[in-house]
Amino acid sequence: MCNKLEGFNLISNWKPTTFTLPEGILDIKKTFDCGQCFRWNNIGNYTYAGVIGDKYIQIKQCEAENGLVEYMTTLDPVYLKDFLNYLGINDDYSYLEHINLTNFEVKAMDKGRGIRILHQDLWETIVSFIISQRNNIPKIKTSIHRLCEAAGTKMVTKNPVIGSEIYYYTFPTPKQIVNLGITGLQKCGLGYRAEYIYTIALEFDINPLRFYDYNNKSKSGQETVDFLMRFRGIGPKVANCIALFGYNKLDMFPIDIWISRAIDQYYNGDIDIERFGKLAGLMQQYIFYYMK
DNA sequence: TCCCAGGCTTGGT
DNA sequence: ACCAAGCATGGG
């Protein structure tokens, strides 16, 4: 039984909000460390800190009791419903329980149990996964942090008890990135990806609805991927990641170096993704997490 | 020094 | 349609 408040008192202009879920539904460590998001950090004491939109949030996961897990957040209760939606708690993951899985898939799913596919901001997801190409996760996180410092809006949340302040940055809007310019982007360590991001920031700023249009349920994952791949710097893998993580097209199955290793190692070089149906992306996350 | 990282573009067959 | 090289950057 963990001390629920220990390490979870950095900020106090919040009304602590708690919620409970059955064990196995949400594991925040797996969810935030599985490579789908880059702005959540482990700050100790089973607590993660992150930024969603203009809000700084801490969440702590406690040990299960009687099959239930308690979570504490620093988020005002009025936002709890939105936060649960962000965490993907409303998504039905039962489909994978009803299909035949290989021994490897059962092992991967078991290890990854509790991973949720987050409902992240579309623009942030587009930029993040353009940065991710030919890059490793620690450096992606560093680059994105530098980008937020350079072009995002600086925010502060204050602890009136001990007087300390926590500074954080919103993820820069398309316009903020355009204003930063290509050279400003390159100073964030983005390398050749800087011009890709600059170009798509111009497009997104001019016509955001062109992008949000694919949030519609009538747009398939493949249609979304085809649209995204028309932009310079977005190929099949990045497009699949944006469709899966930014548009929540849960049937998409991004193939990166780790997944192709799994395909070589456990599928004799040939995987049938159709078996996973509408939750192929979730199985992809289990496999990715297993391989890492 | 070389190798690798949640790949993509370009230019050759 | 497929293949190889080049690409910026930073960590091991």
The band of A38, judged by pLDDT with boundaries at 50, 70 and 90, is very high
R_g of chain A, CA atoms, integer Å: 19
Q: How far is CA A247 from CA A8, A13, A50, A243, in A?
A: 32, 32, 20, 5
Average pLDDT (A112-126) is: 98
Percentage of chain A surpassing pLDDT 90?
87
Least confident of A9-23, A97-111, A265-279: A9-23
So what's the pLDDT on residue A6? Answer: 65
Average pLDDT (A268-288) is: 97
The closest nt to A186, taking CA to C1', is C8
CA distance A178 to A82: 29
The string of DSSP codes covering A131-150 is HHTT--HHHHHHHHHHHHHH
* A204 and A124 Cβ atoms separated by less than 8 Å: no
Strand B contacted by A238 CB (< 7 A): yes
So what's the pLDDT on residue A260? Answer: 96
Non-local (6+) Cβ contacts of A32 within 8 A are A40, A42, A48, A50
* A93 and A278 Cβ atoms separated by less than 8 Å: no
Average pLDDT (A25-35) is: 97
Percentage of chain A surpassing pLDDT 70?
93
Could you give the count of Cα atoms lying within 13 Å of A80 in the half-sphere of its Cβ? 14
Q: Which nucleotides of C are covered by protein (CB under 7 A)?
A: 7-11
User: Distance, angstroms, CA A27 to C1' B9?
Assistant: 38
Higher pLDDT, A119 or A73: A119
Query: Which chain A residues 38-97 have CB under 7 A to strand B?
Result: none
Question: What's the pLDDT tens digit per position in A155-194?
Answer: 998 754 556 788 999 999 999 999 999 999 999 999 999 9
User: Distance, angstroms, CA A128 to C1' C5?
Assistant: 26
The band of A94, judged by pLDDT with boundaries at 50, 70 and 90, is very high
Instruction: Give me the torsion for CA of A192, A215, A32, A276, rounded to 10°.
Output: -100
Residue A217 pLDDT more than 80?
A: yes
So what's the pLDDT on residue A76? Answer: 84
Strand B contacted by A195 CB (< 7 A): no
| Backbone conformation region of residue A119, classed left if phi is above 0, alpha if psi is from -120 to 50, else beta | beta
Q: What is the DSSP code (8-state) at residue A93?
A: -
The band of A1, judged by pLDDT with boundaries at 50, 70 and 90, is very low
Strand B contacted by A258 CB (< 7 A): yes
So what's the pLDDT on residue A233? Answer: 98
Average pLDDT (A137-164) is: 88
pTM attached to this predicted model: 0.96
So what's the pLDDT on residue A11? Answer: 55
Averaged confidence pLDDT in chain A:
93
Q: What is the 3-state secondary structure (H, E, C) of A60-98?
A: EECCCECCEEEEEECCCHHHHHHHHHHCCCCCCCHHHHH
Least confident of A117-131, A150-164, A263-277: A150-164
So what's the pLDDT on residue A201? Answer: 98
Strand B contacted by A234 CB (< 7 A): yes
Average pLDDT (A122-147) is: 98
CA distance A169 to A156: 8
Residue A86 pLDDT more than 80?
A: yes
CA distance A288 to A109: 10
Q: Which nucleotides of B are covered by protein (CB under 7 A)?
A: 4-10
So what's the pLDDT on residue A166? Answer: 87
So what's the pLDDT on residue A14? Answer: 53
So what's the pLDDT on residue A284? Answer: 98
Non-local (6+) Cβ contacts of A227 within 8 A are A214
The closest nt to A193, taking CA to C1', is C8
* Nearest by Cα to A58 from A120, A16, A2: A16
Residue A276 has which token pair? 């996973």
* A98 and A206 Cβ atoms separated by less than 8 Å: no
